[in-house]
Amino acid sequence: MSFTELVVLFDVAAPTLKAAIRAIHKSGVIAEHSQHCEVIPYTYWATLYNMDMIIALAFRIHSYGAEKIRGEVLKRIYGRKEKVCYLFSLANSPIGMS
C-alpha cells in the first residue's frame, strides 16, 4: 500500500504516520529495505509498504482504523482451528484379530 492509502486506512495525519514508520525502522523491528519502491514513468515514484509494515503500524498507532485492523488480525490468528489427528491401534482389539 502507498503512503496516502495508509493515511486513509488508519485515519491519521501524515506526520503521525511518518513518525510511526520512522520509529518502527529505528527500533529495528522492520528493516528499511523491506519496503518496495515502484517507479511510475514520467510522473512520480511511490513507496509501497508490505503487510509486515501495515500490521506493525496497526499495533503502533492509536486510532479507530488501527483498532479495526488489530482486531481483524487477532481474530484471524485466534480463529484458526488446529487439526487433530486421532490414531487408533487395532492390535489388541477384537476387530484386529479377525
Domain boundaries, the chain: 3-78
Model confidence pLDDT, tens digit, residues 8-65 = 999 999 999 999 999 999 998 888 887 777 767 777 777 888 899 999 999 999 999 9
What amino acid occupies position 37?
C
Signed CA dihedral, 69, 73, 74, 80: sign only: positive
Of the candidates 59, 49, 35, 62, the residue with the CA atom closest to the CA atom of residue 5: 49
Q: What is the pTM of this model?
A: 0.72
Cell 503512503 appears where? 3
